[in-house]
Every structure is written in C-alpha cells, then in structure tokens.
Amino acid sequence: MNAPKLKFVIPKGSLQDATLQLLEQAGYSIKAVERSYRPWINDPEISLKLLRPQEIPTLIQEGAHELGIAGKDWVDETGADVKILSELDYGKVSIVMAVPNSWEKINNLSELIREFSSNGKPIRIATEYINISSRYIMENKEYQKHYGNKTPEVITPWSRYGQNPNVKIMLSFGATEAKPPEDADAIVDNTETGTTLKSNELKIIEVLYQSQAVLIANKKTLKEKWKEEKIRDVMTLILGAVEARKKLHIFMNVKEENIEALLEQLPALKRPTISPLAGAEGWFALNTVIAKEDLIKLIPILRKLAQGIVVHPVRQVLPLEEIENKKI
C-alpha cells in the first residue's frame, strides 16, 4: 500500500521563481525536468505539481489538490471556497484601471463613466479580472447614478451576459495593456511597478485591489488528521522562511560596562545571548536577531557601544508555538 501524500500545487509563470526560492529557503530541495509540471521534491510525503495560478484556487476547492500557493487576486476572482492559511509577503501587485495618456479629462472611473455616458458611447474594458472589475465598477456612485444596479455586460468568446450594454467587460487572454485604444477604451490589469503601462502610453486612474501570494488549503482536507498535521509542518517551514526574510542575525563584542546601555536600545526576538570572551577580561560576545528595518537606526548606537560587528541574514524563524496553536 502506498504511503499517503499531500497534494501540493504551486504557480507556474510570474510567481514561479519566487515560489521556488521561498520553498528552497524553507528547506525543500526541488528539481524540475524541463517542461515537466511535476517537479521532484525531497519530502516523500508531498506530491508537487505546477499549474497556472488562475486555475489553482478552483482546483483546490474541488479537492484535486489539497494545499497550494496562488495570488490572492485569483482566490477572489474565482470565488473559490478555500481556506487562506497565510499571506506570504511576495508576489505583491496592484489591480488597476488604466486609460490612454492622451485622455486628459479622464483621471478616475467616475469621469470615465460620465464622459462616455454623456456622449452615448459604451465603455469597453478589457481584463482577465471579470468579477473583480464588475464588482468594483458597480460600487461606483457615478455608475449607480446612470445605471442603477444593472450588472455590466460581460463578453467572452463563448458567452455574453449582464444587463448593461453601456459598460462592457471583455475577457482578455493576456497582453491586456496592448488593447487600448482600438480594442478597448480602458483596461483592468495587475502591475508591480506600472512600467509596462507607461511604455504602452497608459495611465492609472483607479487602484481596485492589492494582491500578494497566499497559502491556501482545501477545507475538507483540514478535517483529515494526518493531512492537517502535514499542512502544519509545511506551514511551519514556509512561514519560518517568510519571517526570516524580515530579520538579521547580528553578532558583536561589547565591554561589560556598555552592556546595560546597549540592552536598553537593542530590539530582539528574545533577550540576546551574552557570553564572556575567552582571554579578553571585561569583554563579552553578544548575539541576537533584529528586524532588518532596525539595522540602519541601530548603527549610531552600535558604533559607540560595540565592536567587531558581524551581520548575517536569517534562514529560518520557525513559528512553532504559533502554528501548533493556530486554528486552521
């Protein structure tokens, strides 16, 4: 009889490299054969697969996979009934609405609706995010003023639905930023820096949504004892790596007379480790973990109170108690 395995799916494409880096930092060794969607992983209790991030939330909801990493945008876009276990602090993008730079009079969604409505023209919006876009547009007061509670018309290659043909949301299959002005009047797309939009002579007029990578699970799987425990193990390693990226391990030598003054100003996860230096009377070695953001402001203090400072990145900060006590 085969040993049980946890079916773990990770995103292919724009999130792939960052996801593999996180898993490797977490302690997993992953080897992928070119064009293979089933990479090898050094945990025999995990079956790993690569899929497009748009598909992952729904497939986890349906139980085809039990644990996965996907963009939070696609969890919300698909409406998948999954358990979000944690945000992962990478893959951060904004879902934005953009129009051509040349449209100087249009700088927000309300002005876009008002301009097209007054001219009797339908607005064509190209996007991969049909549901996020539709919900956001319907909440706009200018939209409600002109169209009430009518849903925008959604157009895909295989269907057309919705009650309001004056605002058309057209499914895009990529290269969305290339659609205006011939194929769409506006777009809703994800962006990290806005550089691609600018290079296509588009300007952002609305920010609809902020997204990042999240760890998600099938809700029924969490009721199975072995798989719930295995998911806790995976979470411990992954969230330990996420937390470690925010930390630095610092080592220094300190005169005994300076220890108290240093401790008053030194943030730490716990009290720092202090031990006497061999053969150096009155000197102590001190090491602790601090937030990366604290290092710059600590430098003036360390210059005056310590010597021989060494700084290392932290590989793992395992949240053992947090994961053990977490209700999932």
- Residue 145 has phi, psi (to 5 degrees) of -60, -40
Look at the alpha carbons of 203, 208, 213, 217 in this order and tell me if their dihedral is positive or negative. Answer: negative
Kindly give, in sequence order, each residue whose CB lies less than 8 Å from that of residue 277, ignoring residues fewer than 6 positions away.
253, 283, 284, 285
- Residue 270 has phi, psi (to 5 degrees) of -135, 180
Q: Take residue 165 and report the two structure tokens written for it.
A: 């043909």
Kindly give, in sequence order, each residue whose CB lies less than 8 Å from that of residue 271, ignoring residues fewer than 6 positions away.
none
* Residue 270 confidence (pLDDT): 65
The C-alpha angle 155, 157, 160, rounded to 5 degrees, equals: 35
Q: Take residue 36 and report the two structure tokens written for it.
A: 């293979």
Kindly give, in sequence order, each residue whose CB lies less than 8 Å from that of residue 119, ignoring residues fewer than 6 positions away.
none
Mapping DSSP to helix (H, G, I), strand (E, B) and coil, where does residue 166 land?
Answer: strand
Q: Which domains does the chain have, with CATH numbers?
A: 6-91+213-244 (3.40.190.10), 94-211 (3.40.190.10), 247-324 (3.30.70.120)
Q: What is the pTM of this model?
A: 0.90
* Phi-psi label, residue 192: left if phi above 0, alpha if psi -120 to 50, beta otherwise: alpha
In the chain, the DSSP E strands lie at 6-11, 30-31, 40-41, 46-51, 67-71, 83-87, 93-100, 123-127, 152-155, 160-161, 164-171, 186-191, 202-211, 213-217, 247-255, 273-276, 283-291, 307-313
* Residue 326 confidence (pLDDT): 85
Distance separating the N- and C-terminal Cα atoms of the chain: 29
Kindly give, in sequence order, each residue whose CB lies less than 8 Å from that of residue 116, ignoring residues fewer than 6 positions away.
122, 123, 166, 185
pLDDT mean values, one per 10 residues, the chain (328 residues) = 87 94 96 83 96 96 97 97 97 97 96 96 97 98 97 96 97 94 96 93 97 98 96 97 94 94 79 88 93 92 93 89 86
* Residue 324 confidence (pLDDT): 86
Provide the b/e sequence for 199-224 (b: ≥16 CB within 10 Å).
Answer: ebebbbbbebbebebbbbbbeebbee
Q: Do the Cβ atoms of 70 and 213 come closer than 8 Å?
A: yes
